[in-house]
Each structure stands twice: as C-alpha cells, then as structure tokens.
Amino acid sequence: MKNFNRKNTSSILVFLIITHLLPFCVVSQNTPSFYHFRGFHLGITGQAEYIQKCTFVPLTGTDPAPRPRWTYGWETGIEFSYHFAKHFGVSLGLNLGTVVSYNYAIYLSTVPDLKGGWEVINKYDNFPASTIHDYEVLFPIKLEFHYPLGKNLFFNTEIGAKIKGVHLKIRNRGIRVYGRYSHYYDPFIKYYASEGYRYLTQIHCDLLVGVGLYYALPYGDLLRFNVGVNVSFKPIIEGYYRYYLTDSYGTFSVKNDFIYTQLSYIHTFNWQKARIFLKKNDVSFASKKERRKQVIEIINN
C-alpha cells in the first residue's frame, strides 16, 4: 500500500510539473527574437568626407611644385546587412559618391607684366580655383562588431573594403583625362599646364576602418553614427605638371584617402515581426494606441 501511494504521489508531482511548465515552453518556442542585432536589416547611409591632398613630385626646374589642398566629398546609398551572431554582422552597400577630388595652387615666379617687361611675384596663386572631382557607384563590404553599453546604446567597430570602378570596367575601355588645365598670361604666352589620367580597365579597392555608436529607437530600428578612415592602396589618378617659362615639371597623383563621418538609419523589421506575432496569437486591442504600446513593450522586453 505504501509503494502504491509513493507511485501515485510521484506521478501526480510529475504531472503537475509538466502541466505548469508546458505553457511556458510553448510560448518560449513560439515567441520570435526581437533582439536589435539579429537577422537581416536594411539601412540608408550618408557620409561627409574630408579628403587628403593630392601629391606633387618635382623632377626638374627652379619653380616649386604646386601646393595641394584638402578637399571635401560625400557618399550616400543603401545598406543590406545580416547579423549572424550576437555581436557580429556583415553588410554590403550600394552607394553613389565622390571617387576623385583634388585641388591645388600653382606657383607664380617671374611672369610677363603685359607691358613688354617682367614682374617678380614669387608666391602661390589661387589658380585653378575650382576643385576637380568625379562621382560613381561604390560597393562597400564590411564586417561589424557591436557590444552593449546600456539598454539602448551600443558600441561598434567596422572594417572592410570599398570596391570602385566596376561599372567603368564593364562599360568602358581606355583612359579618362582629369584636370586638363592650362594657364596663359596672354593668348601667346603659356605659363602652366597639368593633366591627370585614370585607367578605366582597373578596379580599385580601398580599406575601411571605423568606430562609433548605435542607438536603439523605441520601435526597434537603429541609428548609427560612425567616424573612420578610407585608405587607398594605390593612386586612382596619375599625371604631370609643367611650368613652361622655366621648364620646371614633375608628376602628381591622387589616392582619394579621407576621413569620414557617417550617419545611418537601420530598419530591423522588428515592428513588423511584433505585429505578426500578436496577430498569430489572436491578441485584440481596444485602440491603435494600445496596440502600438504593446508592440513597443514586446520589442523592448
């Protein structure tokens, strides 16, 4: 009799445990993850660029090389990302932005005074005043690491490569000429000239390294602010310059290295997932405001 009571008691305890734990297991299995960094994301990015000076190398002559200047650029586009682990993700961008940007000032030494004589100046002028630039389609590919600093704030770093020149290689063959510039003091006296060349059959690949912060919005999407550097492995443009009156000449090159600041809006699809989850579980609400409140609670909890 004692054995019978022990068996019954054990069976009842097992039954009670299973019946109490089963609903929680079912809910756990049916509830999707609303963690910010999980699955596929779609983003919009925009960045400002502070572009490094081009490089001049004098080869012969008395006149110093032109003085290069820092310039500015931009980039914008869409980003497709997939977060395959709690702290890691990969992304592919389709952007339009600055691929070439440079400016410089030429040196004025002894020049014609337009009165039959010569004038000694010996200083840099502002010609050419306009920046030489070009834009094209770019493909940034990045590996990302993110780590929580608080409930809605995350530290992140990124490293990757930016591929440029793909569509030019497909569509064109040959050379593109940049900065074809000549400076005259009258129609018959040529003072300075320069010209740069880009080979359109070459695809260039730059290194990207950045660091920044993510901020999680209440409805599940993300804001990201990053700063970083873009480093080119080789010049994208190479050319020459020449001062005709002193026969001074040399070469110049453009690598398009720059510092960037980037702001991105990342859509995580968590809002849609939370609404679908509530609909599947036949949860009803008295108003849209109440439903919105419940969706936000699910995403953040």
Token pair, residue 208, equals 């990207």
Question: Would residue 297 count as lying in a domain?
Answer: yes
Check whether residue 238 and residue 122 sit in a common domain: yes
Check whether residue 47 and residue 80 sit in a common domain: yes
Check whether residue 180 and residue 295 sit in a common domain: no
Check whether residue 125 and residue 245 sit in a common domain: yes
- Other C-beta atoms lying within 10 Å of the C-beta of residue 138: 22
Check whether residue 89 and residue 189 sit in a common domain: yes
Question: Would residue 230 count as lying in a domain?
Answer: yes
Length of the chain: 301
Check whether residue 174 and residue 225 sit in a common domain: yes
Asked if the bond preceding 235 is cis, omega within 30° of 0, the reply is no
Q: Which residue has the tokens 């699955």?
A: 39
Check whether residue 130 and residue 215 sit in a common domain: yes
Question: Would residue 124 count as lying in a domain?
Answer: yes
Question: Would residue 206 count as lying in a domain?
Answer: yes
Select the highest-mean-pLDDT range: 4-8, 112-116, 263-267, 293-297: 263-267
Check whether residue 286 and residue 152 sit in a common domain: no
Question: Would residue 57 count as lying in a domain?
Answer: yes
E strand segments, the chain: 39-51, 55-60, 67-69, 71-83, 88-105, 107-112, 118-124, 132-148, 153-164, 175-186, 189-199, 204-216, 222-232, 237-243, 248-254, 258-267
Span 52-66, average pLDDT: 94
Question: Would residue 22 count as lying in a domain?
Answer: no
Question: Would residue 202 count as lying in a domain?
Answer: yes
CATH number at residue 192: 2.40.160.20
Check whether residue 294 and residue 192 sit in a common domain: no
The more confident residue out of 31 and 199 is 199
Query: CA-CA distance, 99 to 237, in Å (whole number)?
Result: 10
Token pair, residue 202, equals 């070459």
pLDDT at 211 (0 to 100): 98
pLDDT at 295 (0 to 100): 64
Question: Would residue 6 count as lying in a domain?
Answer: no
| Cβ-proximal residues to 143 (8 Å cutoff; 6+ apart), any chain | 88, 89, 90, 158, 159, 160
pLDDT tens, position by position, 1-14: 444 455 555 555 44
Q: Which residue has the tokens 């000239």?
A: 193
Check whether residue 180 and residue 291 sit in a common domain: no
Asked if the bond preceding 128 is cis, omega within 30° of 0, the reply is yes
- Other C-beta atoms lying within 10 Å of the C-beta of residue 175: 11
Residue 265: pLDDT band by 50, 70, 90 thresholds? very high
Check whether residue 98 and residue 57 sit in a common domain: yes
Structural domain count, the chain: 2
Domain containing 41: what range? 36-268
Check whether residue 138 and residue 222 sit in a common domain: yes
Q: Decide the pairing of beta strands 153-164 and 258-267.
A: unpaired
Q: Per the confidence metrics, is the pTM higher than 0.85? A: no
